[in-house]
Amino acid sequence: MAIARQLDVQLIAHSQFTPPSGTGWEPQDGVSDAESLVEFAGRACYESFDRPNPRTAENDAYLRHLMEVGHHGPLEHAHATMYVRGISRAAANELMRHRHFSFSQLSQRFVPTESAEVVVPQAIAEDEELKRLLLNAADEARFVYDELLDALEQRLADEPNALLRRKQARQAARAILPNATESRVVVSGNLRTWRHFIAVRATEHADLEIRTLAVRCLRVLSDVAPTLFADFQIQQLADGSEMAISSLVSEM
C-alpha cells in the first residue's frame, strides 16, 4: 500500500452572523462573525445590549469574561466545519469519541479500497527499517484483502445487484485492513466543542497524530475566532512536535 498524503486540514464552513434589528446593539468593527455572534448570545441573556459595564464593553473583554466565569453556553452558537484528509483510521476513531461533533467519514463499504493508502506514524517514518516493516505488513494485508474480496464476490454470485454484492464483499473484507489506512472526515462542531477537543487532544499526553490534528485545528480556528482561542499557547516539545495548553484553569 502506498503512503498517504500528509495530514490536510481545511476549514470549509463557519458561522455567518446577521445582527438583528431593534436591539440597539451593533457588532464591533473588525470583530469576526463568530465572535460577534457569541457576544450577542451572551448579551441576549441579560439584554445588556447597551454595553453597561465598561470593563466588558469591548468584544474581546466580554468573551474573555464569559470564559473566565464558565458561561460557556454562548460559544455553542458559533460553528466551524473542517475537511480532514491524510488521517489514519486509528486517529479518526479517537476524533469520533468526541460526542458533540458531527461527522461524515469516507465509507470503506462504498468507496473502492483498492487504492487505499496508509498513514505512517512519525516514529516509524523516520526509521527506514521500521517503515519497510510497516509497509510490507500493509502490503500483505492488502493482498489478503484482495483475496477475500474475490472469494466473497464469488460466494455472493447469486446476488443480482452488482453494487450490493460489492458492498457486502467489501464490508467483510475490510476487517483485515490496518489501523493505519487513510481516512477522510468532514467534522463540524460548535466553538465550545472545538475548545474542548483542543484542550484534551493537544496536550502532550495525547497520541501524536491526533495532537497534530488538534494543533492544526487550533491554528485554523484562531483565524475564525481569535479571542476565543487566544488562551491556548502552542509549545514545542523536546522531540520537535507541538502541543497546546490553555492558560484558563477551568476548561469547559
Active site residue ranges: 201
Q: Annotation-wise, does 164 bind a ligand? A: no
* 166 assigned to a ligand binding site: no
Give the contact letters, 62-91, x = binds to ligand FAD (CB under 6 A), - = no: ------------------------------
Nearer to ligand FAD, 55 or 205 (CB): 205
In three-state secondary structure terms, 151 is helix
168 is in an annotated binding site: no
Rounded least distance, CB 98 to ligand FAD, Å: 4
Q: Count other C-beta atoms under 10 Å from residue 86's C-beta.
A: 19
Residue pair 207/93 in contact by the 8 Å Cβ criterion: no
Q: What is the largest CA-CA distance in the chain?
A: 75
String of DSSP letters for 130-180: HHHHHHHHHHHHHHHHHHHHHHHHHHTTT---HHHHHHHHHHHHGGGS-TT
Strands 102-105, 79-88: pairing is unpaired
33 vs 76 by CB, closer to ligand FAD? 76
Rule CB under 6 A: choose which of 148, 186, 200, 248 binds ligand FAD.
200
- DSSP 8-state assignment for residue 193: H
245 lies in the binding site for ligand FAD (CB under 6 A): no
Q: Which of 30, 46, 99, 157 binds ligand FAD (CB under 6 A)?
A: 99
- Residues 189 and 101: beta-carbon distance below 8 Å: yes
> What residue numbers does the annotated binding site cover?
94-99, 105-109, 174, 190-192, 196, 201
Contact footprint for ligand FAD (CB under 6 A) = 97-100, 196, 200-201, 205-206
> Which residues are known binding-site members for FAD?
97-99, 105, 190-192, 196
